[in-house]
Amino acid sequence: MRVGYGWDSHEFKRGVPLRIGGVGIAHPKGLAGHSDGDVLLHALTDALLGALAAGDIGSYFPPSDAQWKGANSALFVQAAMGQVRREGYSVANVDSTLILAAPKIGPHAARIQGRIAQLLDVDPTAVGVKAKTPEGLGTDNAAIAHVVVLLVKKAGKRSRKIAVAEVVPQPVIDSVAEKLVESVAEPTPSRKPAKSLAASGASTRPKPARRR
Ligand code: MG
């Protein structure tokens, strides 16, 4: 298992479409940024990369690179998920908190949850979306996002075998090993050698006592 954490903030700007968590929200201001300014998907991308200790969003998609100007931030999440899969992990669950004065996130939370679930290939019940207002922070013209994610290793053949070995108690392993050693040391004689031994009159085995 790997845990990852991401954080991001963007400033509101008039006349820019607002996108949070991969969905469009009707509001007079949007979030300024080199890409679409989706503060939640940026924090999510960093959380995924952080769980893999694989750098951050800026190292893969530098703002200096013109190709990411106005980019849909879902691309960043999808790229991070590609890395997650290549390293043999899948997402167990994700939790997030948005901090912004407006707009209210409640009415849009289910749509955001659904879109993030789709991007991470998980059930919506594995995606937490919470929002708070920035009381006393003086950040009313900004949106802040915190995200934590838990990755789990996908079970392969090898890891399943290891998992079984780990849960079998040592005395059971010892007993099986002992029986194996015994069976190798004293093989059941095949019929042919037994006949020839009988024919020669020799017997290496004591005759069982007759019971009446
Ligand atoms: Mg950002």
pLDDT of residue 208: 54
CA distances 43 to 8, 69, 77, 162, 187, Å, are: 5, 18, 9, 35, 65
pLDDT of residue 151: 98
Task: Output the CA 31–ligand 1 centroid distance in Å.
Answer: 9
Tens digit of pLDDT for each residue in 35-85? Answer: 999 999 999 999 999 999 999 999 999 888 888 888 999 999 999 999 999
Query: Distance between CA atoms of 12 and 9, rounded to whole angstroms?
Result: 10
| Confidence category of residue 174, pLDDT binned at 50, 70, 90 | confident
Fold category of 2-155 in CATH: 60s Ribosomal Protein L30; Chain: A; (3.30.1330)
**Residues around the ion ligand 1 (C-beta < 5 A):** 8, 42
pLDDT of residue 167: 58
| Confidence category of residue 187, pLDDT binned at 50, 70, 90 | low
Domain boundaries, the chain: 2-155, 158-199
Task: Output the CA 167–ligand 1 centroid distance in Å.
Answer: 44
- Please tell me whether the peptide bond between 103 and the residue prior to it is cis, using omega within 30 degrees of 0: yes
Task: Output the CA 173–ligand 1 centroid distance in Å.
Answer: 53
Tens digit of pLDDT for each residue in 90-149? Answer: 999 999 999 999 999 999 999 999 999 999 999 999 999 999 999 999 999 999 999 999
Max CA-CA distance within the chain?
Answer: 107
Query: Distance between CA atoms of 130 and 145, rounded to whole angstroms?
Result: 10
SS3 category, 177: helix
Structure tokens at 139: 């950040």
Query: Distance between CA atoms of 57 and 45, rounded to whole angstroms?
Result: 6
Task: Output the CA 10–ligand 1 centroid distance in Å.
Answer: 6
